[in-house]
């Protein structure tokens, strides 16, 4: 499969879709709970769940079971490819096939947090934690 011609546009579409998945009631709850909203070229969220909800669930779905429609979005739930923490971290940093790279919008700790969240939720039970230093070593030099 060819790399997308407009990865920035694809990132925007992923984030926009994630925003649309959130229900009005949930959005009102988020506002009253002091949720962090991102502005600018990077994401403000710091914990794995918030990052997943802001970025990933638009394509991979709130239950992480993926989707098929205008494209194919693989399931992260129960996904054996997540066993080696470096693999999903590399995909988040650099992108893969139709998934855009988020390495320029997330710092090392944010990537570690979202990867650890996905690897320990949605039927995944991988115990080893990814750290920011490992993420840093995965970035292109």
Domain 7-138: CATH superfamily is Cytochrome c-like domain (1.10.760.10)
- Judge whether residue 25 has pLDDT over 80: no
- Cα(13)–Cα(70) distance, rounded to whole angstroms? 12
Residue in this structure with the two tokens 């394509």, named with its chain if needed: 59
Surface-to-core class of residue 25, CB atoms within 10 Å of its CB (0-12 exposed, 13-18 middle, 19+ buried): exposed
pLDDT tops 70 at residue 136: yes
Q: Return the closest-CA partner of residue 27 out of 39, 16, 38, 35.
A: 35
CB of 101 closer than 8 Å to CB of 139: no
CA-CA distances (angstroms) from residue 49 to 64, 97, 110, 114?
Answer: 12, 24, 11, 7
What's the confidence (pLDDT) of residue 14? 55
**Domain residue ranges in the chain:** 7-138
- Looking at every residue in the chain, the average pLDDT score rounds to 83
pLDDT in tens, 38-93: 555 788 999 999 999 999 999 999 999 999 888 889 999 999 999 999 999 999 99
């Amino acid at each position: 499969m060819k790399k997308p011609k407009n990865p920035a546009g694809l990132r925007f579409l992923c984030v926009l879709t994630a925003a649309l998945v959130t229900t009005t009631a949930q959005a009102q709850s988020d506002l009253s709970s002091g949720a962090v909203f991102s502005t600018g070229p990077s994401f403000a969220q710091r914990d794995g769940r918030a990052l997943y909800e802001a970025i990933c669930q638009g394509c991979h779905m709130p239950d992480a079971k993926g989707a098929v429609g205008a494209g194919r979005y693989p399931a992260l739930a129960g996904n054996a490819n997540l066993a080696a923490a470096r693999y999903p971290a590399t995909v988040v940093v650099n992108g893969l096939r139709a998934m855009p790279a988020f390495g320029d919008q997330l710092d090392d700790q944010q990537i570690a947090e979202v990867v650890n969240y996905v690897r320990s939720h949605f039927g995944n039970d991988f115990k080893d934690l990814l750290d920011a230093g490992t993420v840093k070593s995965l970035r292109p030099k």
